[in-house]
Amino acid sequence: MLTLLNLLKDGRFHSGQDLGEALGISRSAVWKQLQHLEAELGLSIHKVRGRGYQLASPLMLLDSLKLSTMAPNWPVTILDSVDSTNAEALRSIGQGNSAPFLVLAERQVSGRGRRGRKWVSPFAENLYYSLVLRIDGGMRQLEGLSLVVGLAVMQTLRSFGVVNAGLKWPNDVLVGNKKIAGILLELIGDPADVCHVVLGIGINVNMQTADEVDQQWTSIRLESGNNCDRNALVAELSKQLDAYIRRHQAGGFSVLREEWEVNHLWQERSVSLIAGANHIDGVVLGIDNQGALRLRVNGVEKVFSGGELSLRLRDDS
């Protein structure tokens, strides 16, 4: 089926006869494969008598040859379909693969965000990206790391025309109140000594419709008006990540704190911090040198950190 998809990815019409000849199969077999493409990958294929078959939108598939020339030169695995790139990355660590390495996929069938939420992952439309790093030297190397990743994602989006991309503590990138990217970090090993961390990044790239998403969202294509080359996006994101991670390793999160606060969209906003069944109302003052959230609660500054916290704007904000 993927051979057929590569023939159709240009978005032009192709006759059933030409497709059959290229694949060495009958026209009826081509028709069956097209039905499978629609059913299994959720693709929309136009069928016009006398002209043939055409994808509703051209596809830019991830290309290992193009990505092999990118800097930094991290080993890259590209999967057609996977449960989630983070899960595959964790399995690869267990199999002894040496970090750093990168896992990409055309789609995820069980993509997930923070707090176990589903991450909608249609085929060949968005970016599903997991970078594995080996961390030596204990917890200091992890302080504020998810916020550092957010800065790299934000700068990448801006370079692709999403000029209003900004940050939301702790792990989201927004345009206004619409989510365009999310970050999920997962740790394996001993955080006090040697461990591995998976930097999972999901970016809405060329997606234009998504009935399953249960919050406001946008994409690079919707914001810029252009169909985005996901290979170029991977290369730029990897370059930004490499640069930001090096700065973080050299000086800790404190050297990036001011840059992060300047780009925090909810700075000085009235918010509710949600921790399980508890809601804490306050005003965002910023973050500390470890990346924890600083809130003014009833006139007193308090600091909050932790993976299960969630931030929402208050209705009166």
Query: Of these residues, 107, 112, 168, 179, which one is catalytic?
Result: 179
Q: Distance between CA atoms of 235 and 294, rounded to whole angstroms?
A: 34
What are phi and psi for residue 255, nearest 5 degrees? -75, -15
Q: Distance between CA atoms of 194 and 189, rounded to whole angstroms?
A: 7
Residue 66 vs residues 37, 76, 188, 260: alpha-carbon distances, Å:
25, 11, 30, 32
| Spatial contact of 258 and 242, defined as CB atoms under 8 Å apart | no
114 in active site: yes
Query: Of these residues, 32, 47, 118, 312, which one is catalytic?
Result: 312
The distance in angstroms from the start CA to the end CA of the chain is: 50
- Assigned token pair, 18: 């030409």
For residue 32, how many C-alpha atoms fall within 13 Å in the half-sphere facing its CB?
6
Sequential DSSP letters for 18-35: HHHHHHTS-HHHHHHHHH
Q: Distance between CA atoms of 272 and 314, rounded to whole angstroms?
A: 6
β strands within the chain, DSSP E: 45-48, 52-55, 76-79, 101-105, 127-136, 165-168, 172-175, 178-189, 194-203, 270-275, 278-287, 293-297, 300-304, 309-313
In sequence order, what are the residues at sequence separation of 6 or more whose Cβ sits closer than 8 angstroms to the Cβ of residue 139?
A: 191, 192
CA nearest to 126, candidates 6, 9, 16, 207: 207
The residue type of 317 is: S
302 in active site: no
Query: Of these residues, 112, 114, 221, 230, which one is catalytic?
Result: 114
Pairing verdict, β 76-79 and 101-105:
parallel
314 in active site: no
User: Which residues are tagged catalytic?
Assistant: 114, 179, 312
